[in-house]
Amino acid sequence: MAKKVLLDTGVVIALVNAADPDHERCTAVWAKLRARLYTVEAVIVEATHLLASAKGGAEAAIGLVLDAGAVIVPTTEERLRRAQSLMRKYRDAPMDFVDALLVVTAEQQSVSEILTLDRRGFATYRILGRGRFRMLP
């Protein structure tokens, strides 16, 4: 069975934007990564929004996700309800909508590794209330 890894917004942005302070370390991990990637549409929406002012940035973010062959997990009513529950549980962290959907995906797809720059959030969140995330880079 192939290794599974979640893909979060900050890493997409850092990979696309060479001026990003985390670009080099994200690129180094990305080059060696051998895994099946999972993400959510909200990651793509957030990344394209944040890269909208960079010429070609939004398109590059979409291309990165597509070229990586990432599984884009659709948002369903069940996933929205679970995300809403997680956002209530972690309101003091706080947990945003994108992070909540990624945690739901981790729970449903049995993924415990995540490519993220959000160390504080994903160090706090638990998979099914128990498991910790292993964060890359």
Span 69-114, pLDDT tens digits: 999 999 999 999 999 999 999 999 999 999 999 999 999 999 999 9
113 half-sphere exposure, CB direction, 13 A CA radius:
13
Q: What totals of helices (H) and strands (E) does the chain contain, helices first?
A: 7, 5
> In this predicted model, what pLDDT tens digit does every residue of 35-59 receive, in sequence order?
999 999 999 999 999 999 999 999 9
Q: What is the pTM of this model?
A: 0.96
> In this predicted model, what pLDDT tens digit does every residue of 57-71 receive, in sequence order?
999 999 999 999 999
pLDDT, residue 42, reads 98
Enumerate domains of the chain plus CATH numbers. Answer: 4-132 (3.40.50.1010)
pLDDT, residue 1, reads 61
Rounded Cα distance, 64 and 42, in Å: 15
